[in-house]
Chains A and B, each alone.
Chain A
Amino acid sequence: MTAIKIENLGRIFSTTTGTIRRTRKDVTALENINLVVEPGELFGLLGPNGAGKTTLTRILSTVLLPTSGRAEVLGMDVVNDTKHLRPRIGMVYGGERGLYWRLSGRDNIQYFADLYLVPPEVSRKRIPELLELVGLKDRADERVEGYSRGMKQRLHIARGLINNPDVLFLDEPTIGLDPIAARELRNVIAELHQKGTTIFLTSHYMYEVDALCQRVAVVNKGKIVMTDTPTALKQLVANLEVVEVECLDASAEALATLRAHPRVESVNVENRDQTQVLQIQSPGGVGSVPEFLRILEAAHVQKVVTRQPTLEDAYVKILGKEALST
């Protein structure tokens, strides 16, 4: 039996505009999604904001209904078999909401232990274990409102594990965390995976997916663009080098010329406070740098670095130039 099986799944949201004359508008959040996740797998769903990652997680965790297709988790239909499915899954949504801030961390977990009908003799043992796992043992009796964002996120994880789920859904669990808190959380996720929990993780952080997941599906505009291992995805850009050019003002014309250059695969532009960083994927690599600099002559180049491609570069290539370029 597969842990998760998704067939031709779709979800359309309807919104209305106008006050007196209301016009209905349909927005496609997911379209024809097909996916299989095996038991014990740590599967990543990678995509930019608005790609449909949260919608898919919510459907799989029985909070939202699909408008077409079907999905099974642990062999149970996510639409109709919620009574038997819900006790066996856990879900953690990113952000600080979803906890009782005026209560202590321990009270929060205890409450969800009761909601998940965990027998008291089991919860008495499991709650301290989970608090230890997420590093909140010493602060467990303090009110959640005094917790940092990272602590709240770790409490979410403990809450999501209270029923010892067979499948755990993690929707952007490290969003908004500082690097140290994010690393600690990734360690917790890796530890859970080692213990055999099937994990379905969504993220838009390439490093996170690369470090944790066995397989990755890249999703964009509601469709799965590609599914493979992180290593295989990186192979897509194995013949390329990435030239990172930090400059002050690259004009639209210069960027267009760069993109049209025969030795350029793609150009991703990242706007920082005072500068722009151009990530140029090129099979020519170092050898092409002088030509690139000539094109960017008026852009006040500050720094040039060449490096080997990462999963992020593969992601940029898969999604295409228009998806991430500004």
Chain B
Amino acid sequence: MITRILGLLRVISSSFTMQAKERATNQFFVGTLLVLPIIFTLLSVGTYLYGGKGDFGLFAVIGAGMMGVWNANLWTSGRIVEGERRGGTLSTLIASPTPFPVILVGKSLSNAFASLISLVVTFATGLIAFRLKLDITYPAAFVISMILTLISMTCFGLVLGSVFVLSRNAGDFMEAANYPIFILSGLMFPLTVLPAWLRPLSSLLAPTWGNLALSSSAGLIGENPWLIDLYLIGLSLAYLIIARVLFKQVEYRVRRDGSMEVF
């Protein structure tokens, strides 16, 4: 049992490293990490400032940072499955003794931690372009919130990953879903401007709570960051349970339909 657990941890670690090595050779991803956060910050903060809502500037910086994290993490993780399918490695991975979600955890975590770069770029852009300095009120809570946000986004990525395995068009779907998710998670505009009937949907999304956790630990909103962190932990566990159930179903379906190599 212990040997198996150690083996699976080694898979997570080597998937993490492998993804990092592949990413380093992918200029497109480097662009996603460095260029997109600048664009998001300029657009998002600019919208508030020139709309006469300068008070929301820092809130917009964190929102833009989360958009960068989303792009570098979940969107790219979706592309992981698509890339494996196109490269012909998906069937080899699924036929290996390691459960596929474990492989995906390592790869997604790797992207998640790389996405921290985009957060730094966002804060730097806010500071240089708009002189918005983020004074973090609760530094310890901010760091914990950041880590939990990344973990929660990774777990959310696992749920989506099962859909990616199932469908060859998942990447296109993710592209189309990008902006609706930015809006639903309150990354572009405060959640309070959303209609009430949409808010339950927002509460199911990891970026919503990641954004709230970071904003509250930075002192931008009056919520208790530790409570939001607890919610992030609960949400991550729920994602993991859903992902486990889904992957079992998905593996059966792709073996039944013979769709692992179809793209």
CB distance from B258 to the nearest CB of A (A): 5
CB distance from B14 to the nearest CB of A (A): 4
With A63-B255, A93-B88 as known contacts, state yes or no: A86 contacts B22, CB within 8 Å: no
A119 to B10, CA, bound (A): 10
Chain B residues within 8 Å of A115, by CB: 11, 14, 93, 96-98, 103
Find B25's partner among A86, A102, A119 (CB 8 Å cutoff): A102
Chain A residues within 8 Å of B10, by CB: 114, 117, 120
Q: Are B260 and A103 in contact (CB under 8 A)?
A: no
Q: Name A84-136 residues within 8 Å CB distance of B.
A: 86-87, 91, 93, 95, 97-103, 107, 110-112, 114-117, 119-120
A43 to B177, CA, bound (A): 50
Find A65's partner among B7, B8, B103, B255 (CB 8 Å cutoff): B255
Q: Are B14 and A83 in contact (CB under 8 A)?
A: no
Find A116's partner among B3, B18, B94, B96 (CB 8 Å cutoff): B96
Contact with A along B84-104 (1 / 0, CB 8 A): 000111011111111000010
CB distance from A179 to the nearest CB of B (A): 25
A114 to B93, CA, bound (A): 11
Chain B residues within 8 Å of A159, by CB: 92
Q: Name A269-312 residues within 8 Å CB distance of B.
A: none
CB distance from B47 to the nearest CB of A (A): 38
Chain A residues within 8 Å of B7, by CB: 114, 117, 119
Chain B residues within 8 Å of A110, by CB: 14
Chain A residues within 8 Å of B98, by CB: 115-117
A107 to B255, CA, bound (A): 28
A-B contacts besides A100-B89, A107-B21, 10 pairs, CB < 8 Å: A63-B255, A64-B258, A65-B255, A98-B87, A98-B92, A99-B88, A102-B25, A111-B14, A111-B15, A119-B7
CB distance from A170 to the nearest CB of B (A): 14
A117 to B1, CA, bound (A): 12
Q: Are B94 and A63 in contact (CB under 8 A)?
A: yes
- Which A positions have Cβ atoms within 8 angstroms of B? 13, 58, 61-65, 83, 86-87, 91, 93, 95, 97-103, 107, 110-112, 114-117, 119-120, 159, 163
Q: Are A100 and B97 in contact (CB under 8 A)?
A: no
Q: Are B18 and A103 in contact (CB under 8 A)?
A: yes
- Decide yes or no whether B256 CB sits under 8 A from chain A: yes
Chain A residues within 8 Å of B14, by CB: 110-111, 114-115
Find A98's partner among B21, B89, B252, B256 (CB 8 Å cutoff): B89
Q: Are B91 and A63 in contact (CB under 8 A)?
A: yes
CB distance from A62 to the nearest CB of B (A): 6
Q: Are A117 and B258 in contact (CB under 8 A)?
A: no
Q: Are A87 and B97 in contact (CB under 8 A)?
A: yes
With A64-B258, A65-B256, A107-B21 as known contacts, state yes or no: A86 contacts B97, CB within 8 Å: yes
- Decide yes or no whether B131 CB sits under 8 A from chain A: no
**Minimum CB distance partner of A55 in chain B:** B258
Q: Are A95 and B91 in contact (CB under 8 A)?
A: no
Chain B residues within 8 Å of A116, by CB: 96-98
State the 7 A-B residue pairs at the shortest beta-carbon distance, nearest first: A97-B88, A117-B7, A98-B88, A114-B14, A115-B96, A87-B97, A102-B25
